[in-house]
Structure 1
């Protein structure tokens, strides 16, 4: 399967120590199977930080990674479990959340979802309202690589 990473610069080598924390699935390397999503993300990052919009392509074999024993979590849809997982990863208050997955695949929490998560954190709405807000969302997808071992299965083209 072909995956794409949108950035403001070419990616020669993935360095997991240089990526930001508190993202949907935690600190790691994010890709998508949707080329347009990667192009849009590269423009967003470039507008925010400068640089040159760049999409880097990779080849990835999920079956091979699973057969090798990597710990993979797949969220088929944005549901209660996904929302709790994303909110735990994004939470900047208290102890930093860590999971033991090498690879996580699932929907992207867009700005609308971030607002719902914020309302939940402020105790303005409950978890059921967050989950209800997921029902009508058509969210993009992301493939997240959390460990060096996982990166071994991501081949730059």
Structure 2
């Protein structure tokens, strides 16, 4: 278990906006619709209530300041090895034992390579936020996946849709490698992608159709820290506030991406009719 003590850098973010807009505290308070006293308290203590955070960060976002996305670029320049985690309610600590069994690769702490990846998994939740972490892979056992059959079978196993094939020798070999690893690195699979995988495990589409459809996603890679040893290689950097307009824009992007995946699935069904079905692969 590791403590997550980082918080919003709202004081520095306000300073950035004031400098960029060339305005003082009084003018900013009026524009963001917060009281002058409240703003002065934030500048002094560096903390704010959620409703005040919403006004400040929504003002920034609506005025074209993409603070969180730009911070991603800056911290990657500074630390190079950085990952992001989206949280529905915020974190005080992280532990493998508290994670769910039915995630893509079982229990573990899941992170993505980019801020937008993390945002996309929590943008529908009102109290959600994103965290950045420095990380190291030194002295850790790593299992890597590409967008291939092994990756798809592993996710279907942990999400519980393999049915009669759960004890297949190929599946067990993949799972054993995962369970021996400290960290799993693999393409991200969201619920839209898993819907396609489930069609494969149910015998509705063949492997070629499934994999060519999934390749349209391009969500990037996820890093799953599966052991307490791996967690010790994570160092929290910052917590990012997700304003209503930013989360709304993210949902729009996800809707467009789902249309692309639907189209790719329909085209793949026409193009790859001779691929192998699950019963042929795991017979």
The answer to whether the superposition gives a TM-score over 0.5 is yes
Query: Are 1:79 and 1:134, in contact at CA under 8 Å, matched by a contact in 2?
Result: no
- After TM superposition, the structure 1 = structure 2 runs for residues 1-157 of structure 1, keeping only pairs within 5 Å, are 1-44=81-124, 46-47=125-126, 52-62=127-137, 64=138, 68=139, 70-75=140-145, 77-91=146-160, 93=163, 99-157=179-237
* TM score, norm. by length of structure 1: 0.79
Deviations 1:1-56 (A, max 9, x none): 11111112221210222222221121111011201221232323x25xxxx22112
Query: What runs of 5+ residues in structure 2 fail to find an aligned partner?
Result: 1-80, 168-174, 238-283
Of structures 1 and 2, the one with the larger relative CO (CA 8 A, separation 6+) is 1
Deviations 1:42-75 (A, max 9, x none): 323x25xxxx22112211022x2xxx2x210122
SS in 2 for 1:137: coil
Aligned residues: 146
Q: Output the aligned Cα RMSD.
A: 2.3
- Shift of the 39–134 alpha-carbon distance from structure 1 to 2, 3 Å rule, reads closer
Deviation at 1:134, TM superposition (A): 3.1
- Shift of the 106–128 alpha-carbon distance from structure 1 to 2, 3 Å rule, reads same
Deviation at 1:102, TM superposition (A): 1.1
Query: What runs of 5+ residues in structure 1 fail to find an aligned partner?
Result: none
Runs of 4+ that moved beyond 4 A: 92-98
* TM score, norm. by length of structure 2: 0.47
Q: Name the stretch that deviates more: 27-36 or 88-97.
A: 88-97
State the distance in 2 between where 1:8 and 1:152 align: 23
